[in-house]
Amino acid sequence: MRRLLLLAATSSILATAHQFHFGHIDANWNSRAKTLELAVRLHADDLEQLLRQRAGRPLEIDRDAQAEPLACAYALETIAFDESRFRCLGMKVTTHYATLFLEAPAATPPRRAKFRSFSGDFPDQINTVQRLTDDHRTGSAIAFLAADQWKPLRP
Amino acid sequence: MRRAALLAPFLLLASLAFSQSRRSPLDKFRQLEEILPTPNEYRTASGAPGHKYWQQRADYQISVELDDINQRIIGSGTIDYHNNSPDTLNYLWLQLDQNIWEKHSDTPLTETAPDFRRFPLPVARRLMDDPFEGGYTIGPVRDAAGRELHKHINRTMMRVDLPAPLPPGQSFRFSLSWDYKINNSKRVSGRTGAEFFKKDGNWIYEIAQWFPRMAAYNDVTGWQHKQFLGTGEFTLEFGDYQVKITAPNDHIVASTGVLQNPAEVLTPVQRQRLERARTSPKPVLIVTPEEAKAAEKSKPTGKKTWVFHAKNVRDFAFASSRKFIWDAQGHNAGGNPVMAMSFYPNEGNPLWERYSTQAIIHTLNIYSRYTFQYPYPIAISVNGPVGGMEYPMICFNGPRPLEDGTYSQRTKYALIGVVIHEVGHNYFPMIVNSDERQWTWLDEGINSFLQFLAEQEWEPNYPSRRGEPSTIVEYMLSSAHDPIMTNSESVVSLGPNAYGKPATALNILRETVLGRELFDFAFKEYSRRWMFKRPMPADFFRSMEDASGTDLDWFWRGWFYTNEHVDISLEKLTQYTIDTRNPEIEKPLSKKAKEEAPVTLSAQRNKPLRKRTDDYPELLDFYNKWDEFAPLPSEKKAFESYVKGLEEDERKLLDPAMNFYALELKNVGGVVMPVILEVEFNDGVKEELRIPAEIWRRQSSTVTKLIPTRKEIRSITLDPHLETADADPSNNHWPRKPVKSKFQLFKEERDTKRNPMNEGKTDAAPPSSGSN
């Protein structure tokens, strides 16, 4: 038997009028530095709602010092590549998007990934991972639907 | 670059044509007739309503009471249903949207499991603790004579059986009553609801989908009674509404329609201010922040009934609260006087008083330019619990500043953007009345496109979320993304699919494929044709082609019917020059080519070695001295003979200065698109070459484009203005150029600027406890 962790979240029985619900990672394996570099792009509205619930106050992600550590923690919770141990380098927020930058040592390109940001909150969430090696695309983007867990990154 | 000589210019063209002669198994230019419905007398092949086009009509007279103590709606009304169809009807269908919150609603039943590692509280509350039990209680349905009619409720739909078949051209009057519990938006959010403010004990109500509404009956779907699951919005009939709204007497009510009894519900001062607002160059406060603050502390001493009339609308919504500040400004919409108004609590300021009404008027100006003049007398924006939702003449918009009155740049643009978007919905789908239950994109996508145009005229470099091609690339790259032509309830990730992708598609159609003049004419034609009518996707596709004079089937196919993406790669550039056969020209060129050829490593190392012929020069003969690049008399004679055999115009083609570049293009993404090239020549001059998408019509995977020029090409850039949503910039350059990744750029720009408004204010720190 597993135990449920109850978390305040943004989901509702009825979808709001303007949904975003799309996340994307550029996952670059840097062959020289032997690192895996992730640029994780999430919709700022989705992320802000979630961080407000977590902070328990009306936080604004583009001008609140707590936003970045909270967002980094959330990214590290919901994103995994093999057994990589990521370090969050920071977050860049524009008017509509929040991009988180994660880095981990990686001797070889990643074999599998899990990208579940907002997957438990929005049933129509799509997340995608674009694989790159030394900033060159390798194959098409891998899509993660709400129910998807680990998926292979190599054919 | 590879240099190759040509035997004759004609051969080159022939060889290129040959290389493109293989057909792709899937013709991306195949006409859409096999997919689109067959035109008929209701909907023509040109995309216009046919000469026998018809639509139903429903007129409503409703009395409703807002119960502020128990948060309930209690309503009763009469509906006059007009059967303008050629069909006889035995029953009518009505929409019962509130039943989405009924105990046994399909919506929670069809929900999939949440992430059990992070179990959301609202889900837990709904499943285990205190589920919200909304949904209609419907009283007897009676005909005009008071006889009760049989009704059957099928979840979010209700069928009313007619006492006798309703023939074409006849009307039927019936009445009914209903009531329901209003959802508390903090616990169950939606497109309607109530918001409670703990600190003053007051509510803001945004009331929509609050009465049984006639389902649409039309020539394409018959009755549109697809169940409401929460995503696909509404399909409704036009009609006139007379609505009496009874609310606590200290409430301000904002509503669809024109207020009929201002003397009974407004104070003399409020009426005076409203009159002044009609001609004011800026918004006038009808209820001031101080008055709204004072009202928050008041208790109602009774009730007031506000009477509104709305002509030719497809729906009716209202908002009510004692917390409302109210501002208004009259606006002349092409000869039609419109009152633009905003209703918001003090919590909405300073954002709302500055931007809401301004954004309403801006929207009317811009949207009217691209479509038709705004025909209604009212346009309202309300701040309350709903994040963004549209109804005729009124919309609900959520963004607010923090409690300390500061707001981020994101919040500011979120408000302006959502007001533009929701007010813009008056045009699509409130007036151009598309079927939202079936096709979300046909209103949301078109509206998001117009929102982009309006935002770009708000201020320089407005940060629009949608519209620019680059904003949709990541979504389109996903193999899991749905074609735009997917039913509203089935779409995964509705925002990018039904809002973002069509907005970008239309922007590309306007800027890159058709050009602004052709697009704007065609788009306006579509809007006017279907104003106060119900278009389907085919009517849009056909109207745009009909009025622009352009076959766009390839575009609709690629962007609306597939989930392919755009990625064109510059694969290879080969340079060809004319072989003039003139030895005086060709021999020196050959000599130059030999001299410029790379010298092998062995040759370089062997060069300084002393050779035997240095010691024995007698070993050198004719062949050691012969200049192989000197024209021979026989070669000169042969050339003269060749030239004599040519016609005058053929001789002109023997121009040694001409270069022919064969540029190989590969369609990696699948969607065929125009090829936009910026060609830079060796002298530094740049020229743009805009090649229509039809270059792909015979072979959609690889084509070779010939570029004839007297200059030599230094570099080529594909999609230099980022106008085609090309997914991979790394293959857009010849020669290849490294493109910096987001990760590299971030590392270079570590010190991201913070919000300057926040930095500039010493008291801008966000509060540590929650509001409301």
Residue range A104-130, pLDDT digits in tens = 999 999 999 999 998 877 778 889 999
Q: Which residue has the tokens 């003399």?
A: B268
What angle in degrees, to the nearest 10, is found between the helix axes of B409-424 and A44-55?
A: 120
pLDDT at B288 over 90: yes
Q: Do A4 and B492 touch (CB under 8 A)?
A: no
Quote the pLDDT of residue B766: 40
Task: Report chain B residues whose CB lies below 8 A from the CB of A135.
Answer: 730, 738-741, 744
Q: Do A143 and B478 touch (CB under 8 A)?
A: yes
Quote the pLDDT of residue B704: 96
Residue B652 at interface with chain A, using a CB cutoff of 8 Å: no
Kindly indicate the confidence band of residue B163, based on its pLDDT and cuts at 50, 70 and 90. very high
Quote the pLDDT of residue B767: 37
Q: Do B741 and A37 touch (CB under 8 A)?
A: yes
Task: Closest CB to A13: pick one of B126, B493, B496.
Answer: B126
Interface test with A, best of B99, B459, B474 (most A CBs within 10 A): B474
Interface test with A, best of B478, B566, B755, B772 (most A CBs within 10 A): B478
Quote the pLDDT of residue B478: 83
Quote the pLDDT of residue B11: 37
State the average pLDDT for chain B: 90
Q: Which CATH superfamily is domain B57-438 in?
A: tricorn interacting facor f3 domain (2.60.40.1730)
Q: Are domains B1-31+567-580+655-738 and B57-438 of this chain identical in fold?
A: yes
Quote the pLDDT of residue B657: 81
Quote the pLDDT of residue B347: 97
| pLDDT tens for each residue of B99-126 | 998 877 777 777 766 555 555 555 566 5
Name the token pair of B716: 């080529």
Distance from CA of A123 to the nearest CA of B (A): 7
Task: Report chain A residues whose CB lies below 8 A from the CB of B389.
Answer: 17
| pLDDT tens for each residue of B62-99 | 999 999 999 999 999 999 999 999 999 999 999 999 99
How far, in Å, CA of B40 to CA of B59, rounded? 29
Quote the pLDDT of residue B269: 98
Quote the pLDDT of residue B493: 84
Kindly indicate the confidence band of residue A14, based on its pLDDT and cuts at 50, 70 and 90. very low
pLDDT at B386 over 50: yes
CATH architecture for segment(s) B1-31+567-580+655-738: Sandwich (2.60)
Residue B74 at interface with chain A, using a CB cutoff of 8 Å: no
Phi and psi (nearest 5°) for B96? Answer: -115, 75
Name the closest residue on chain A to residue B760, using Cα atoms: A63
Task: Closest CB to A59: pick one of B113, B409, B766.
Answer: B766
Q: Do B750 and A56 touch (CB under 8 A)?
A: no
How far, in Å, CA of B211 to CA of B772, rounded? 29
Number of residues in chain B: 772
Task: Closest CB to A90: pick one of B188, B465, B750.
Answer: B750
| pLDDT tens for each residue of B542-562 | 999 999 999 999 999 999 999
Q: Do A130 and B188 touch (CB under 8 A)?
A: no
In angstroms, what CA-CA distances link B146 with B59, B142, B310? Answer: 19, 5, 26
Distance from CA of B173 to the nearest CA of A (A): 33
pLDDT at B128 over 90: no
Pair B48, B40: CB distance under 8 Å: no
Quote the pLDDT of residue B614: 94
Q: Where are the domains of chain B?
A: 1-31+567-580+655-738, 57-438, 581-596+621-651
For B292, residues 6+ apart whose C-beta sits below 8 A from its C-beta are B322, B323, B324, B325, B345, B346
What angle in degrees, to the nearest 10, is found between the helix axes of B441-456 and B409-424?
A: 130
Task: Report chain A residues whose CB lies below 8 A from the CB of B124.
Answer: 4, 6
% of chain B surpassing 90 pLDDT = 76
Task: Closest CB to B118: pick one of A5, A24, A124.
Answer: A5
Which comes out higher in pLDDT, residue B745 or A68? A68
| pLDDT tens for each residue of B398-418 | 999 999 999 999 999 999 999
Q: What are the strands, taking DSSP E only, across B567-620? A: 568-578
How far, in Å, CA of B687 to CA of A6, rounded? 61
Interface of B with A in 683-722 (CB under 8 A): none
Q: How many CB pairs under 8 A join A and B?
A: 222
Instruction: Tell me if ipTM is over 0.90.
Output: no
| pLDDT tens for each residue of B260-280 | 999 999 999 999 999 999 999
Arithmetic mean of pLDDT, A14-19: 46
Which comes out higher in pLDDT, residue A30 or B764? A30
HEC readout, B732-756: CEECCCCCCCHHHHHHHCCCCCCCH
pLDDT at B615 over 70: yes
